């Protein structure tokens, strides 16, 4: 039995693939190309009614969606992989905090950067809306940058939160801006690119 990951190159299924690989859990990848809006088809809406990637089909055949929930479910099902800090520790709380921060404070603004016309309507100014959303994402990355306490990880040891924050910081703000303002985020992403198991997956998406 194998998991099925729905996603595409450069999307948040990268973190999901890395988590599965770190847990030594085999998976198949179904490409849902955003370039041709494959996520918007009625066929894909049966997998995720929001018509967004990623999605994960569990070994039971149940499909779950929402990138952060998918990652937490993988950690839950593969406890020996230690993808999260131990339960009831302050480190666990911080890892959950930053995962939810990315899912709720960052990901929705990324949609505005990518598809501003969805939010402006015909009378609005999509370019201005995009710029404002990009500023919001940059502000949130600066908050994250301040929070990175480990060297190079978010906390004292590698966890799912590192995979997730590194993945979501690849978008919206521009490489040059990131290099100038977010050295700790960039070191963290580089450390994932160098991990023996996650590294090749990361480089396939973002190399």
Pairing of strands 3-7, 27-31: parallel
> Which listed residue (29, 34, 63, 142) binds ligand GSH by CB under 6 A?
34
Query: What is the smallest separation between the CB atom of 171 and ligand GSH, expressed in angstroms?
Result: 7
- Tell me the per-residue interface mask from 83 to 122 with ligand GSH, x by CB under 6 A, - otherwise: --------------------x---x---x---x-------
Q: For residue 22, which phi and psi values (nearest 5 degrees)?
A: -60, -30
SS3 content of the chain, % helix, strand, coil (to 5): 55, 10, 35
Query: What is the smallest separation between the CB atom of 111 and ligand GSH, expressed in angstroms?
Result: 5
Pairing of strands 55-57, 63-65: antiparallel
Would you say 8 or 152 has its CB closer to ligand GSH?
A: 8
CB atoms under 10 Å from CB of 186, counted, come to: 18
Is residue 53 within the footprint of ligand GSH (CB under 6 A)? yes
Is residue 74 within the footprint of ligand GSH (CB under 6 A)? no
Instruction: Give the integer Cα–Cα distance in Å for 15 and 18.
Output: 5
Residues forming contacts to ligand GSH in the complex (CB under 6 A) are: 11-12, 34, 39-40, 52-54, 66-67, 103, 107, 111, 115
């Amino acid at each position: 039995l194998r998991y099925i990951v729905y996603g595409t190159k450069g999307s948040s299924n990268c973190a999901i693939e890395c988590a599965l690989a770190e847990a030594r859990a085999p998976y198949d990848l179904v490409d849902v190309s955003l370039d041709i809006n494959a996520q918007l088809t009625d066929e894909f809406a049966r997998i995720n009614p929001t018509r967004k990637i990623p999605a994960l089909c569990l070994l039971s055949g149940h499909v779950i969606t929402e990138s952060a929930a998918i990652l937490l479910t993988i950690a839950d099902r593969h406890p020996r992989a230690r993808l999260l800090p131990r339960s009831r520790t302050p480190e666990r709380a911080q890892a959950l905090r930053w995962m939810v921060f990315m899912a709720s404070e960052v990901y929705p603004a990324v949609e505005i950067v990518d598809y501003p016309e969805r939010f402006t309507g015909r009378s609005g100014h999509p370019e201005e809306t995009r710029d404002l959303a990009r500023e919001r994402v940059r502000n949130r990355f600066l908050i994250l940058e301040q929070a990175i306490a480990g060297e190079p990880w978010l906390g004292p040891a590698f966890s799912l939160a590192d995979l997730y924050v590194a993945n979501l910081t690849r978008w919206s703000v521009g490489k040059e801006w990131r290099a100038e303002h977010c050295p700790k985020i960039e070191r963290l992403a580089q450390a994932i690119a160098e991990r023996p198991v996650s590294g090749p997956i990361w480089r396939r998406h973002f190399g």
